[in-house]
A and B are shown apart, each in its own frame.
Chain A
Amino acid sequence: MTTRKGAYETTASDTDFRKKYDLAKYAADAKEKEEKEREEKKARYEAKLAGKKYYAPLTGDEVLTQARASRLDVSSNVGKVVLMPAGAATGKRGRGAGFYCPDCDLTFKDNLQWVEHENSMQHLRAIGQTGEVKRATREEVHERIQRLWERMEEERRGDVKTLGERLEVRREEDEKERELRREKRRELAEKRKKVKEEEVKVKKEYGEDVRIEGEHDEDDMMASMGITGFGSSKK
Chain B
Amino acid sequence: MANHRADEKRFLDERGSSGPLAPNGLNPATIMEKPVRERIIDSYFWKDQCFGVNEADIINRVVEHVHFIGGTYGDAQRPSPFLCLAFKLLQLGPSDEILEEYLGYGGEKFKYLRALACFYVRLTRQAKDVYRLLEGYLGDYRKLRRKGRMGTSLTYVDAFVDDLLVKERVCGTTLWKMPKREVLEDLDVLEPRVSPLGDIEDLLESEPEEVERENERGSDSERSRRGSPGSEFGEVTPDRDEMDIDREKTANGD
Contacts and interface: CB of A to CB of B under 8 A. Distances in A.
A153 to B, nearest CB: 10
30 contacts: A67-B54, A67-B60, A68-B52, A72-B48, A111-B44, A112-B47, A116-B47, A119-B47, A131-B7, A133-B3, A133-B4, A133-B5, A133-B54, A134-B2, A134-B3, A135-B54, A135-B55, A140-B55, A141-B55, A141-B56, A141-B98, A141-B102, A143-B56, A145-B59, A145-B105, A145-B110, A145-B113, A148-B59, A148-B109, A148-B110
Interface in B29-66: 44, 47-49, 51-57, 59-60, 63
Contacts of A144: 56-57, 59-60
A81 interface: no
Contacts of B5: 131-133
Interface string A44-66: 00000000000000000000111
A139 to B, nearest CB: 9
A118 to B, nearest CB: 8
Contact of A132 (B3, B47, B98): B3
Contacts, number: 95
Interface of A: 64-68, 71-72, 111-112, 115-116, 118-119, 124, 131-136, 138, 140-145, 148-149, 152
Interface of B: 1-7, 44, 47-49, 51-57, 59-60, 63, 95, 97-98, 101-102, 105-106, 109-110, 113
A148 B60 CA distance: 7
Sorted nearest first, the 5 A-B pairs with minimum C-beta distance are: A136-B56, A136-B55, A132-B3, A67-B57, A144-B56
Contacts of A119: 6-7, 47, 51
Given A124-B6, A133-B53, 7 more contacts: A67-B54, A115-B51, A119-B7, A133-B3, A141-B102, A142-B101, A148-B109
Quick one: which of A111, A119, A134 has the most chain B CB within 10 A? A119
A67 B2 CA distance: 16
Contacts of A71: 48-49
Contacts of A67: 51-54, 57, 60
B152 to A, nearest CB: 23
Contacts of B97: 138
Nearest to B43: A112
B21 to A, nearest CB: 18
B106 A66 contact: no
B4 A145 contact: no
Contacts of B4: 132-135
Given A138-B98, A142-B101, A148-B63, A65 B6 contact: yes
Contact of B59 (A66, A111, A138, A141): A141
A136 B7 contact: no
A66 B95 CA distance: 20
B64 to A, nearest CB: 9
A132 B53 CA distance: 10
